[in-house]
Structure 1
């Protein structure tokens, strides 16, 4: 039996290594074709380009290793059955499952190693790759700009929306520039044409704009703005380095985290959903009490989480009602109307307090950003404070809708990260599934040759990854749990492999 085990493993070693190299090179070439446009014209050193593709290899390997297992199993078992080796092994009293046993053990070991790889090495390589690509994208902005898209040139401050780009001349047409560098005002610049260039030091970016207008809006008076037309304008954006800079402190995405980090992010989503449900319940209870006890003035009810009974809302006395219409001038007078001190577009009344006048405890978030548990009275305070602004059924419906949207956002955050957590084990487990599925198919069709290997491999790969992507979409929409979304393909394909194995065993008998 040891001789047979060594023979089976030796027959699979060569095709497996060849399949790993072949599929990895093919997918790497696909990555080259996709990123070629982003790398040309950047004046990059060859080591930077090589670094991009080196950091792409771990992500590709995570996909190609299960593929290589299926290709090797299909090829070897098809050849062995074609050479009547499987028949001879069966005649000696050794069943097909025993022949597959060494491969299943190796597949289990490979799946465990891939799970460790996906949780430790892959997130780091993905993070380094994204940092490098972001740095390359900022190196020469003219090549990074996309037409009909808002492009971030200076993070959080300057955005460019070009209509058409002439990359050879570094000229943009029908361009809009949104400048938020001045904290007191916001500028929107529209020009029919503009040429981009860097200073001699390569740190400052210049726009030579033609035939346009500048709209300036004061942040303190958002209802008013200035409009200035120009024939030619030189806009300078300093500190936009043309060199390659790597922002290692950038926020990591879900594919750049390990399991522990993603579990922490999922816990924040759970806290968000729980806080939204708690606030919705307290808000409903507060409105109910207000409607049942509407004689007591609102000012008598404390905003606290001590369980004190909140009072209902009554209309203020006529002497306290402020007629905001008196602030509107006669159009003939030409006096400006200033609504800057009015919240949410509504005129101020004596019942409306500015945010600075609200008690500090009433402004606290219902769930802390640090990930700690929400204070029991904080949720009550926020919900009862919202209930005090209740005027009509429309207000209540809007508030309940806001709670529902926050709860859905939290649930989607949970599913997003748990999908990636399960995916770190689902794809490695496909190695075991492909051994169970590939060997019976190859034995059943012994003379398929390369056509069988290529056709069956592409069919199984396509169906498997479409199932994974479909499950991920369903989990993102909260239709199914992340567990079933990611593991259902393995269960289905594994069951199909066991059925095929049972049928091939009966045929051989």
Structure 2
């Protein structure tokens, strides 16, 4: 049996690594095409471009790892069935469970590796990539002088009939200077030389054999002409150097680990509970004011027990792993929203009351304003929505990781049911399962973020559907197991269309 397990694992190992590399490469090329404009047009160092591409790979691997598992299982087991090796195993007393066991163990191992990768590596690379993209966004595009076109540089507009990019020389130059608030200046020159200063930021224009036309809006009838043999103009801040910002920006939900998001869930729920308690206190205070019932004591408030840290000992490993992976990565810090505090006022008897009525006007009680009640309600709703979004991301991490195990079940069931499916089964069946799984995952995430579905149900529903389909398929395969005759791609299409066909009524 050990030899059989090794043989089955070797049959799926090659397709797994090939499909993982192919899918990752295709999606990486897609990401490169999307970011080509912002990377190439700003004269960035080659190392920065390579770093952006490398930091984009973990996000792609998180998506392609379950896909590679399904493709490898479909190809490996269908190939074994097409070569009649599955039939030979059955003839020697090997059950479907024994054939499935090596792939299930490998799927469990890949699920654990995927969770560690998604929970520890992916958030840190996403945070670093986000900071790097912000720095790239602040970098100005590289300046290029176009000939026979107006080039805008701040308050200067430059027009040159000929531009020699290699040497920076220009001929027949016209510069329209709008820097003077009370007039305009036009500079004409037969030739010019364009260079940057030693910092590479300021543009220096050296003009030769020209004249300057000056006029003021207050004196339109007068025009001042100045001739020159050599004139130098410095245009500041034409380009800026690329600088890495070391500021620790606030992280989003996709840039946090599971433990950090659990802390945010607890904090958001506490804010929601405090806001709900404050709203109830305001309602009770208004009722007492309307019924002329004095307040008997201090308004009860929910104590804030401070910051809560989850995961316990796992945090030690998490911090050590973070320092080893990305030393400059910082822990997520989100601004804590202060709950709305209702002011307490002490009356002459020493008791604290909330919004007490004006004793000079007992006939008209003072009630809580609509705005204050609305703020507390919105604070409660926003806090609960934030908690749900963090819970969605937590469950999604687990769901994507468990998909490595779920795809093993349904992949083996499809491959054993249609052993002669070949590449049609791998491509068609794989795309069908991918589409159903990821459409349910994305749709469930959208519904859970809006509060229409539970985060746990929305994120785990795709896995439940795949596991049920795989389990039912394996049970049927175990009952109907026979030779490899049939079971090709035509049989797969026939099985998919069978529920949609009407049975003829017997006359």
TM-score (norm 1): 0.64
Q: For residues 17-76 of structure 1, give each alpha carbon's deviation from its aligned partner in whole angstroms, at most 9, with x where no partner exists.
A: 101110110110111011112112110111111111111111111111111000000111
Cα distance, 1:306 vs. partner? 5.7
1:93 aligns to 2:93 (yes or no): yes
8 Å Cα contact 2:142-2:239 kept in structure 1: no
Q: Show structure 1 runs of 5+ residues with no match.
A: 144-166, 173-197, 206-235, 308-363
1:117 aligns to 2:112 (yes or no): no
Cα distance, 1:406 vs. partner? 1.3
Distance 1:379 1:483, change over 3 A: farther
1:280 aligns to 2:279 (yes or no): yes
Of 391, 411, 415, which aligns to 1:442?
415
1:500 matched to which residue of 2? 473
SS of the equivalent of 1:293 reads coil
| Rounded Cα–Cα distance in structure 2 between residues aligned with 1:387 and 1:79 | 81
Cα distance, 1:259 vs. partner? 1.4
1:475 aligns to 2:470 (yes or no): no
| Rounded Cα–Cα distance in structure 2 between residues aligned with 1:65 and 1:132 | 25
| Rounded Cα–Cα distance in structure 2 between residues aligned with 1:135 and 1:278 | 43
8 Å Cα contact 2:16-2:71 kept in structure 1: yes
SS of the equivalent of 2:124 reads helix
8 Å Cα contact 1:58-1:125 kept in structure 2: yes
Cα distance, 1:401 vs. partner? 3.1
1:251 aligns to 2:250 (yes or no): yes
1:422 matched to which residue of 2? 395
8 Å Cα contact 2:277-2:302 kept in structure 1: no
Distance 1:280 1:199, change over 3 A: farther
392-401 or 112-121, which deviates more: 392-401
Whose radius of gyration is greater, 1 or 2? 2
| Rounded Cα–Cα distance in structure 2 between residues aligned with 1:5 and 1:476 | 43
Distance 1:46 1:95, change over 3 A: same
SS of the equivalent of 1:484 reads helix
Equivalent runs, 1:77-156 vs 2, <5 Å: 77-140=77-140
Aligned CA RMSD, in angstroms, stands at 3.9
SS of the equivalent of 1:139 reads coil
Cα distance, 1:479 vs. partner? 2.0
8 Å Cα contact 1:426-1:487 kept in structure 2: yes
| Rounded Cα–Cα distance in structure 1 between residues aligned with 2:254 and 2:357 | 43
| Rounded Cα–Cα distance in structure 1 between residues aligned with 2:292 and 2:397 | 55
| Rounded Cα–Cα distance in structure 2 between residues aligned with 1:429 and 1:387 | 57
| Rounded Cα–Cα distance in structure 2 between residues aligned with 1:413 and 1:459 | 33
2:431 matched to which residue of 1? 458
2:40 matched to which residue of 1? 40
1:2 aligns to 2:6 (yes or no): no
Cα distance, 1:243 vs. partner? 2.1
8 Å Cα contact 2:273-2:380 kept in structure 1: yes
TM-score (norm 2): 0.65
Cα distance, 1:480 vs. partner? 2.0
Distance 1:59 1:130, change over 3 A: same
| Rounded Cα–Cα distance in structure 1 between residues aligned with 2:459 and 2:259 | 19
Equivalent pairs counted in the alignment come to 368
8 Å Cα contact 2:43-2:142 kept in structure 1: no
Distance 1:83 1:387, change over 3 A: farther
Cα distance, 1:305 vs. partner? 2.8
1:490 matched to which residue of 2? 463
SS of the equivalent of 2:251 reads coil
| Rounded Cα–Cα distance in structure 2 between residues aligned with 1:107 and 1:431 | 6
8 Å Cα contact 1:367-1:374 kept in structure 2: no
Of 379, 383, 395, which aligns to 1:410?
383
8 Å Cα contact 1:202-1:243 kept in structure 2: no
Q: For residues 422-475 of structure 1, give each alpha carbon's deviation from its aligned partner in whole angstroms, at most 9, with x where no partner exists.
A: 222111100110000011112222222112111111121121111111111111
| Rounded Cα–Cα distance in structure 2 between residues aligned with 1:37 and 1:392 | 64
Cα distance, 1:115 vs. partner? 1.0
1:25 matched to which residue of 2? 25
Q: For residues 218-276 of structure 1, give each alpha carbon's deviation from its aligned partner in whole angstroms, at most 9, with x where no partner exists.
A: xxxxxxxxxxxxxxxxxx99999542323441111111111121111112211211111
| Rounded Cα–Cα distance in structure 2 between residues aligned with 1:50 and 1:168 | 34
| Rounded Cα–Cα distance in structure 2 between residues aligned with 1:239 and 1:407 | 48
1:15 matched to which residue of 2? 15
